[in-house]
């Protein structure tokens, strides 16, 4: 087994053409992620190699070879064509981590449509906002989520088809159709739609400070970066058994839970189960997982469970560990070194970057708590917030910025070009995070530069939560801010003023919490609600979340000259 090349060696003469060559892409020619992740591998002799080993919480197992995912994605593509779905239309995947989610993703791309994965725990309001904005034509879902879709259907004139993957009878309502992947005739050959580099591929919704979530539009050329970053940053090798914990409802689950491993011809494992430490260790042991891409929240939960449960399992198969979602605290890196005999390698990226952009690469000296260094081909810096010029002094905090032009960079926000353009300043793409760079070129995360809440590695927009809070009959005004949390880094806290006739109580707090959970998602549910008589506002009446956030983080609030006196 060869050692990974040194960082300097990787960046010397780096060119994304390395990935183009390895994937067999010719500039200007067709490129289709669906085919690249299935047909291409089969034509290279990997047809019989396991692509997906799947298990659910009850221990039910399914196994799929690369030929299986080729044929089954053909079958889904063929089915969608038969429904009259056209290239470019948005097809939503609203599924738990079932095989249809992973294989359906490829099928949608193969027929030229745009895959729109959404987290299956989203409530009807979160779902509705995202489907409405995208003008989604079809949604692929399960019986257990069908009721949510039915409830919002009359708000979605573009939604023509509801495809249910586990319906055991005939469709119950008009527009609903059953598709059981393992029961329909398999389509051996399907004419893959000739998408090109800039053809839209995936639409991932992400939250910002203002307005509703934005649809980050990616293209088929993104595979160039996802392939190479998976290979180099996650150190994927042909014989690896790879496990990515992320749900494909979020970008990590598609870039590195589908595209990255499958474009590399890797066998990946999926556990469709909620978090139980013992179950996770059993799973790693059973499948002899070699590369594990996890998240700080999960790692901290595992730390909380202690080392005794680890010692009960043979986890010696693990070769490389990596993490993404929010900064990995130094204690977690040190803990994994002690417990697994190897450190978690932190990686930094986001929905808009489409791929890992800053990382502790294999072979690089890890500085616990650091984000690492820019991936080869990525020009990253921190900018002075006032001048938007790069800061050249080590250790000085600035805005994390990337020079545009890497293959998987978001191409626009759906229906929101102005919002997209606002992400660029002075020729740099602004990530929305603050960091500093040390003398060795390592980046150190310091926090978000906006009001977005990073909870358990997922960005939650305050506007969406506040809008939902105002939908509760007792709430007059609200502000949603981040509150520090030892496991999730941040959780949502809501400050609420009540309408006349309502009084603060534990019952009301719980009722509002559950209301938000059902309508938006468990992630968006405030874990604490503070009832207050007034909220800090500017003289123009805008609520100043910054003050509330500073209060939660015990930070100085800074300039208050524009705040209205109460």
Residues that bind another protein (CB under 8 A): 57-58, 96, 121, 144-148, 150-151, 272-279, 301, 304-305, 455-456, 487-488, 491, 506-507, 509-510, 513-514, 517, 522-523, 525, 527
Q: How far is the CB of 4 from another protein (least distance, A)?
A: 34
Q: How far is the CB of 552 from another protein (least distance, A)?
A: 16
Identify the three-state secondary structure at position 59.
Answer: coil
Q: Provide the strand spans (E) within 251-379.
A: 267-272, 291-294, 320-323, 344-348, 358-359, 373-374
CA dist., res. 130 & res. 148, Å (int): 13
Tokens 């959970």 label which residue? Answer: 517
For another protein, the closer of residues 21 and 304 by Cβ is 304
Residue 251 CB-half CA count within 13 A: 30
366-369, Cβ contacts within 8 angstroms, sequence gap of 24 or more: 366/333, 367/438, 367/440, 367/442, 368/330, 368/333, 368/334, 368/343, 369/327, 369/328, 369/329, 369/330, 369/333, 369/444
For the chain, the straight-line distance linking the first and the last C-alpha, in angstroms and rounded, comes to: 68
Give whichever of 289 and 516 is closer to another protein, judged by the CB atom: 516
- Full strand arrangement of the beta sheet holding 320-323: 61-65, 50-56, 267-272, 241-244, 291-294, 320-323, 344-348, 358-359, 373-374
Sign, CA dihedral 504-460-436-294, equals positive
Q: Which phi-psi region, left, alpha or beta, contains residue 403 (left: φ > 0; alpha: ψ -120 to 50)?
A: beta
For residue 24, the minimal CB distance to another protein (Å) is 39
**Distance in angstroms (rounded) separating the CA atoms of residues 365 and 457:** 24
Instruction: State the minimum distance, in angstroms, from the CB of residue 343 to another protein.
Output: 24
Residue 275 C-beta: closest distance to another protein, Å: 5
Shortest distance, position 282 Cβ to another protein, whole Å: 11
Both tokens of 328, joined, read: 């990995």
Nearest approach in angstroms of CB 510 to another protein is: 6
Q: Closest Cα partner for 322 from 354, 364, 263?
A: 364
Closer by beta carbon to another protein, 276 or else 470 = 276
Considering the complex, state which of residue 237 and residue 517 has its C-beta at the smaller distance from another protein: 517
Q: How far is the CB of 65 from another protein (least distance, A)?
A: 27
Cβ-based neighbours of 385, under 8 Å, separated by 6 or more = 398, 399, 449
Q: Measured from the CB of residue 197, what is the shortest distance to another protein in angstroms? A: 37
Cβ proximity to another protein: between 419 and 522 the closer is 522
74 vs 488, which CB is nearer to another protein? 488
Give the C-alpha separation, 203 to 416, whole Å.
13
Provide the minimum distance between the beta carbon of 144 and another protein in the complex, in angstroms, as a whole number: 5
Please say which residue, 383 or 525, places its beta carbon nearer to another protein.
Answer: 525
Three-class SS state of 462? helix
Q: In terms of CB distance, is 518 or 537 closer to another protein?
A: 518
- Smallest distance, Å, CB 145 to another protein? 7
- Minimum CB distance to another protein smaller for 3 or for 58: 58
Nearer to another protein, 155 or 421 (CB): 155
Separation CA 160–CA 155 (nearest Å): 12
10 Å CB burial of residue 330 (0-12, 13-18, 19+) is middle
Name the E strands within 300-392: 320-323, 344-348, 358-359, 373-374, 380-383
- Looking at the Cβ atoms of 97 and 220, the one nearer to another protein is 97
The distance of closest approach from Cβ of residue 91 to another protein in the complex, given in angstroms and rounded to an integer, is: 22
Residue 167's H or E segment, with its range, is none
Closest CA to 179 of 95, 71, 113, 80: 80
Nearer to another protein, 277 or 446 (CB): 277
CA distance 427 to 425: 5
């Amino acid at each position: 087994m060869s050692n990974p090349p040194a960082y300097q060696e990787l960046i010397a003469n780096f060119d994304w053409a390395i990935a183009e060559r390895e994937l067999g892409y010719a500039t200007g020619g067709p490129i289709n992620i669906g085919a690249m992740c299935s047909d291409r591998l089969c034509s290279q002799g990997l047809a019989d190699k396991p692509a997906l080993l799947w298990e659910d919480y009850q221990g039910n197992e399914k196994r799929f070879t690369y030929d299986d995912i080729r044929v089954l994605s053909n079958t889904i593509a063929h089915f969608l064509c038969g429904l009259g779905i056209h290239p470019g239309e948005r097809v939503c995947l609203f599924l738990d981590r079932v095989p249809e989610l992973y294989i359906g993703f490829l099928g949608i791309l193969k027929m030229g449509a745009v895959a729109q994965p959404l987290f299956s725990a989203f409530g009807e309001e979160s779902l509705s906002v995202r489907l409405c904005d995208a003008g989604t034509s079809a949604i692929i879902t399960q019986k257990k989520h069908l009721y949510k879709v039915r409830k919002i259907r009359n708000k979605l004139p573009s939604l023509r088809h509801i495809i249910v993957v586990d319906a055991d009878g005939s469709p119950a309502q008009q527009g609903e159709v059953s598709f059981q992947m393992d029961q329909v005739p398999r389509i051996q050959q399907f004419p893959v739609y000739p998408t090109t580099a800039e053809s839209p591929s995936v639409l991932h919704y992400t939250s910002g400070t203002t307005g509703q979530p934005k649809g980050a539009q990616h293209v088929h050329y993104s595979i160039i970066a996802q392939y190479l970053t998976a290979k180099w940053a996650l150190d994927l090798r042909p014989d690896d058994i790879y496990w990515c914990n992320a749900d494909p409802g979020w970008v990590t689950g598609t870039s590195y839970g589908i595209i990255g491993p499958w474009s590399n011809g890797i066998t990946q494992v999926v556990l469709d189960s909620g978090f139980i430490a013992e179950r996770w260790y059993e799973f790693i042991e059973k499948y002899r997982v070699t590369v594990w891409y996890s998240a700080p929240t999960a790692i901290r939960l595992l730390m909380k469970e202690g080392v005794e449960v680890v010692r009960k399992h043979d986890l010696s198969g693990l070769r490389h560990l990596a993490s993404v979602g929010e900064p990995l605290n130094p204690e977690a890196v040190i803990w994994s070194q002690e417990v697994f005999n190897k450190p978690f390698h932190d990686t930094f990226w986001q929905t808009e970057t489409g791929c890992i952009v800053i990382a502790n690469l294999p072979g690089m000296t890890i500085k616990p708590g650091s984000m690492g260094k820019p991936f080869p081909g990525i020009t990253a810096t921190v900018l002075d917030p006032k001048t938007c010029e790069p800061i050249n002094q080590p250790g000085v905090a600035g805005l994390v910025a990337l020079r545009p032009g890497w293959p998987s960079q978001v191409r626009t926000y759906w229906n929101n070009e102005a919002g997209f353009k606002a992400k660029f300043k002075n020729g740099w793409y602004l990530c929305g995070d603050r960091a500093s760079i040390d003398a060795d070129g390592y980046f150190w995360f310091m926090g978000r530069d906006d009001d977005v809440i990073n909870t358990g590695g997922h960005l939650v927009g305050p506007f969406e939560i506040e809008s939902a809070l105002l939908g509760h009959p007792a709430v007059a005004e609200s502000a949603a801010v981040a509150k520090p949390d030892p496991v999730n880094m941040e959780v949502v806290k809501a400050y609420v003023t009540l309408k006349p006739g309502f009084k603060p109580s534990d019952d009301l707090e719980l009722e509002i919490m559950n209301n938000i959970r059902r309508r938006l998602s468990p992630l968006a549910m405030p874990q604490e609600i503070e009832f207050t008589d007034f909220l800090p506002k500017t003289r123009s009446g805008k609520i100043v979340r910054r003050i509330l956030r500073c209060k939660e983080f015990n930070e100085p609030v800074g300039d208050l000259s524009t705040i209205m006196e109460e």
